[in-house]
Every structure is written in C-alpha cells, then in structure tokens.
Structure 1
Amino acid sequence: MLKWLLVLSVLVLVSGLLRPRTPRRLRLGRLPGDLAFRFRGQEYHLPFASTLLLSLLAWLILRAL
C-alpha cells in the first residue's frame, strides 16, 4: 500500500511540474476529437479525445507495473 501511495505522489508531483509545458508539446485539448465552442459569450471545451488518450496511456502504464 505504501509503495502505491509513493508512486502516486511522485506522479502527481511530476505532472504538476510538467503541466505548463505539456499541452503545447502534446497538443492536448486540440486533438481532432476535442470540441470547443462558444455559447452566449462563454467558451466551452470538451476534450473527449484527449481524455481517451490519457486514459489509455494510464491504463498501459498500470498494466506494465
């Protein structure tokens, strides 16, 4: 249990440090399946493809462990 808590803490720390640079490199939020639209002056972003891609990546990493 302690091992998983440590791994999760390190992943959260690393993702927090890399967050400002990651979307520009990986183009997350601007993939072909992501929706962005304006409605009554508000912008809405629905990152369906980015969420699917990140979920698949997380699943593959967890399967490797």
Structure 2
Amino acid sequence: MLKWFVVILLVVLLSGFLRPRALGGFRLGRLPGDLSFRFRGRDYHFPFASTVLLSLLAWLLLRAL
C-alpha cells in the first residue's frame, strides 16, 4: 500500500511540474480538486483530480481488455 502511495505522489508531483509544457492543449488540470497556486513568483500545479480521473480511465481500459 505504501508503494502505491509513493508512486501516485510522484506521478502527481511530476505532472504538476510538467503540466505547462505537456498538458497545455488539453483541459486536464482544471478540474475541481486540482490545485494551482503561485509561490515566490512561480506557478505550481498539482492535478490531483485529473490524476484520479486518468487512473480510473486506465483501469477501465485494462479491465475491458
């Protein structure tokens, strides 16, 4: 259980740092539950709700196969 928590935490952090470049064209990262804030002149994005949604979609896709 702890391993999965660490993996999910790392995915959320990495997607938060890479969001401005990678997810710029998609509407992900703007769901209720996604955190976005400015600290010392830098923008930080932590897409918790988007990560849960993508995980659910991946799980459903794998269950269907």
TM category, shorter:
0.5 to 0.7
| Alignment gaps of 5+ in structure 2 | 1-22
Distance 1:20 1:40, change over 3 A: closer
Match of 1:58 in 2: 58
Q: TM-score, normalised by structure 1?
A: 0.61
5+ long unaligned stretches in structure 1:
1-18
Whose relative contact order is higher, 1 or 2, with alpha carbons under 8 Å and at least 6 apart?
Answer: 2
**Distance in 1, Cα, partners of 2:41 & 2:28:** 23
TM, length-normalised to structure 2? 0.61
**Runs of 4+ in structure 1 displaced over 3 angstroms?**
none
Please identify the structure whose Cα radius of gyration is greater.
Answer: 1
Residue correspondences, number: 43
1:30 deviation in Å?
A: 0.1
Cα root mean square deviation, aligned: 1.6
